[in-house]
Amino acid sequence: MELRKSLGLAVDLKTSEDGNSFIIEQRPPAGFRYTELDVVKLSSTGDGIGIDRLEDGTIEIVVVPYSIPGDRVKAKVYKTLEHYSLADFEEVISGGPARDDSLVKCRYFTQCAGCQLQMLPYEQQLRHKREVIVRAYSNFCRVSDGIIPEVGDTIGSPLEYGYRTKLTPHFDVPRKGHVPADTPIGFTKKGRSYVIDIEECPIATLAINDVYKKERIRVRDNISSYKRGATLLFRESMEMDETTNDTQKSVCIDSKDTVTEYVNSYRFKYPAGDFFQCNSSVLPRVTEYVNSQLQLPLSNDEYKSMPAPKYLVDAYCGSGLFSITCSQSVEEVIGVEISHKSVSCATSNAQENKIANAEFVLGDAAVIFKKIRTPPNETSMILDPPRKGCDSNFLNQLLDYLPRRIVYVSCNVHTQARDLGYILNDPRGSNYYVNSVRGFDFFPQTHHVESVAVLTLRD
Ligand SMILES: C[S@@+](CC[C@H](N)C(=O)[O-])C[C@H]1O[C@@H](n2cnc3c(N)ncnc32)[C@H](O)[C@@H]1O
């Protein structure tokens, strides 16, 4: 829309009745159209956005995956929506200054919907992800200028490939009739809803790729026995000999198997099918950062030094990743989690790591407010909700409670920005000061970015 405005094109966006979403109308299909165009922006979903100047003088905005600003590309437009069209990438006519195709490590680049940024040097991927956060806050947070501080540099992942400790390739089978022996097993084709055959994934760990290759053969050999499509699961597990520190990797393929993973000196166990972060190389950086933010003094005033809050509530705690790694900095931790299996893992992970000051509660994050006995003024809260963010029931109770510090970790910066806007625009939350917002790259080569925002309640 910004681009349309800058070109003087209409931006009459219709919103749904509740005002929460845009209605994007599709024009009648007009068949394919080949075109050549200049890419000028990179969207938050990692797709290039180009300006297509048609022969009749009209201008169309076209989204072309696998392209970046500065590229001139050939594209095949396949769908026209009200304000922009969608195209398949065909080829690069001339690459922009940032493009370096020698960096691409996957042979399915331009086909698989997974990793669109491989041609962009890693430093620039990190800069792009920072820009995504800046734009998310400017579009969705809706607070006055100066309230959100300058977004920090994105912290990179130590591993740029071979980092994914979880892979879920899938396959479809026809509803009726014969299941072909060469049924594609892999990932979704970019811009379409069918699976393409992919036998390895360079962002997954070597151990996973090894087992995946073998499993593909086993599934193929038995493909006629499948009545429905399926998703395969591969989860890397690591055992460490605690006297020699020797490690041994294995791969779980059953969702009920137990995975073991180390984050610094902490050991976590969880069922292979349950939630746990998928890039173990970046977890020490993230957990240390979150821990350091919880410890920021409340005031550095030379007359009135106020230490950080001494209690921690970890809402959406999963198997206890932050509760356990941050437990030494506080007197008491309470974790809350809606999944029964995750809460029992969090409890046993705390026991195994000899953490005596953490307890875990099963339930909706919003129930925690009825159970918290700690004074809000001395309590920090970690929020790490799923992609949809926190609901208004949770946020309203948070605004009644007013924890002294909030560390909001999010895999969807757009809902994070919306939720921060909700907190900061409410009269109850207007005393919060935003210390920082910065990204962490859990998924190099992809458009995803994790964002961590820190808020402290002023005196
Ligand atoms: C993004 S994960 C974060 C987990 C953990 N912080 C970690 O990094 O491993 C979100 C977690 O929130 C849990 N969850 C989802 N909705 C919830 C709710 N309404 N109340 C409490 N937990 C919820 C999910 O089961 C999941 O474990």
- Listed in sequence order, the residues at least 6 apart from 4 whose beta carbon sits closer than 8 Å to its beta carbon are 10, 11, 61, 83, 84
- The reported pLDDT for the residue numbered 142 is 92
- The reported pLDDT for the residue numbered 20 is 65
Q: How confident is the model over 70-103, as pLDDT tens digits? A: 999 999 999 998 899 999 999 999 999 999 999 9
d(CA 432, CA 404): 9
- The reported pLDDT for the residue numbered 177 is 75
- Listed in sequence order, the residues at least 6 apart from 61 whose beta carbon sits closer than 8 Å to its beta carbon are 3, 4, 9, 49, 50, 51, 52, 83, 84, 85
Assess whether the C-beta atom of 440 lies below 6 angstroms from ligand 1. Answer: no
Cα–ligand 1 centroid distance for 429 (angstroms): 23
Could you tell me if 305 and 397 lie in one domain? yes
- In CATH, what number is assigned to the domain containing residue 434? 3.40.50.150
Q: Would you tell me how many other CB atoms lie within 10 Å of the CB of residue 313?
A: 30
Could you tell me if 171 and 156 lie in one domain? no
Establish if 346 belongs to a structural domain: yes
Q: Which of 227, 260, 293 is the last residue of a domain?
A: 260
Establish if 57 belongs to a structural domain: yes
Q: Render each residue's pLDDT in the chain as its tens digit; 459 residues.
A: 889 999 999 888 777 777 666 777 777 667 899 999 999 999 999 999 999 999 999 999 999 999 999 999 999 999 998 899 999 999 999 999 999 999 999 999 999 999 999 999 999 999 999 999 999 999 999 999 999 999 999 999 999 999 999 999 999 998 887 888 899 999 999 999 999 999 999 999 999 999 999 999 999 999 989 989 999 999 999 998 888 989 999 999 999 999 999 999 999 999 999 999 999 999 999 999 999 999 998 875 666 668 899 999 999 999 999 999 999 999 999 999 999 999 999 999 999 999 999 999 999 999 899 989 999 999 999 999 999 999 999 999 999 999 999 999 999 999 999 999 999 999 999 999 999 999 999 999 999 999 999 999 998
| Closest atom of ligand 1 relative to the 394 alpha carbon | 19
d(CA 381, CA 419): 14
Assess whether the C-beta atom of 66 lies below 6 angstroms from ligand 1. Answer: no
Annotated binding site for S-adenosyl-L-methionine: 277, 316, 337, 384
- For 179: left if phi > 0, alpha if psi spans -120 to 50, otherwise beta; the answer is beta
Establish if 364 belongs to a structural domain: yes
| Closest atom of ligand 1 relative to the 339 alpha carbon | 25
Establish if 104 belongs to a structural domain: no
Assess whether the C-beta atom of 337 lies below 6 angstroms from ligand 1. Answer: yes
Residue 204: domain span: 166-260
- The reported pLDDT for the residue numbered 28 is 66
Sign for the pseudo-dihedral over CA of 282, 391, 393, 401: positive
Could you tell me if 317 and 435 lie in one domain? yes
Q: How confident is the model over 118-147, as pLDDT tens digits? A: 999 999 999 999 999 999 999 999 999 999
Could you tell me if 252 and 330 lie in one domain? no
Could you tell me if 34 and 148 lie in one domain? no
Task: Please give the backbone phi and psi of residue 216, each rounded to the nearest 5 degrees, phi first.
Answer: -60, -40
Cα–ligand 1 centroid distance for 433 (angstroms): 25
- The reported pLDDT for the residue numbered 29 is 65
Assess whether the C-beta atom of 320 lies below 6 angstroms from ligand 1. Answer: no
Could you tell me if 231 and 304 lie in one domain? no
- In CATH, what number is assigned to the domain containing residue 86? 2.40.50.140
- The reported pLDDT for the residue numbered 17 is 75
Establish if 255 belongs to a structural domain: yes
d(CA 81, CA 293): 43
Task: Identify residue 396 by its one-letter amino acid code.
Answer: N
Could you tell me if 64 and 170 lie in one domain? no
Could you tell me if 136 and 185 lie in one domain? no
Cα–ligand 1 centroid distance for 215 (angstroms): 30
| Closest atom of ligand 1 relative to the 365 alpha carbon | 20
Assess whether the C-beta atom of 317 lies below 6 angstroms from ligand 1. Answer: yes
Could you tell me if 146 and 179 lie in one domain? no
Could you tell me if 451 and 308 lie in one domain? yes
d(CA 260, CA 165): 11
- Listed in sequence order, the residues at least 6 apart from 408 whose beta carbon sits closer than 8 Å to its beta carbon are 382, 383, 384, 416, 419, 420, 452, 453, 454, 455
Instruction: Please write down the HEC assignment for all residues of the chain.
Output: CHHHHHCCCCCCCEECCCCCCEECCECCCCCCEEEEEEEEEECCCCCEEEEEECCCCCEEEEEECCCCCCCEEEEEEEEEECCCEEEEEEEEEECCCCCCHHHCCCCCCCCECCCCCCCCCHHHHHHHHHHHHHHHHHHHCCCCCCCCCCCEEEECCCCCCCCECEECCEECCCCCCCCCCCCCCEEEECCCCCEEECCCCCCECHHHHHHHHHHHHHHHHCHHHCCCCEECCEEEEEEECCCCCCEEEEEECCCCCEEEEEECCEEEEEECCCCCCCECCCHHHHHHHHHHHHCCCCECCCCCCECCCCEEEEECCCCCHHHHHCHHHCCEEEEEECCHHHHHHHHHHHHHCCCCCEEEEECCHHHHHHHCCCCHHHEEEEECCCCCCCCHHHHHHHHHHCCCEEEEEECCHHHHHHHHHHHHHCHHHCCEEEEEEEEECCCCCCCCCEEEEEEEECC
Assess whether the C-beta atom of 277 lies below 6 angstroms from ligand 1. Answer: yes
Could you tell me if 198 and 89 lie in one domain? no
| Closest atom of ligand 1 relative to the 364 alpha carbon | 20
Residue 411 appears among annotated catalytic residues: yes
Could you tell me if 133 and 177 lie in one domain? no
Establish if 247 belongs to a structural domain: yes
* Count of structural domains, the chain: 3
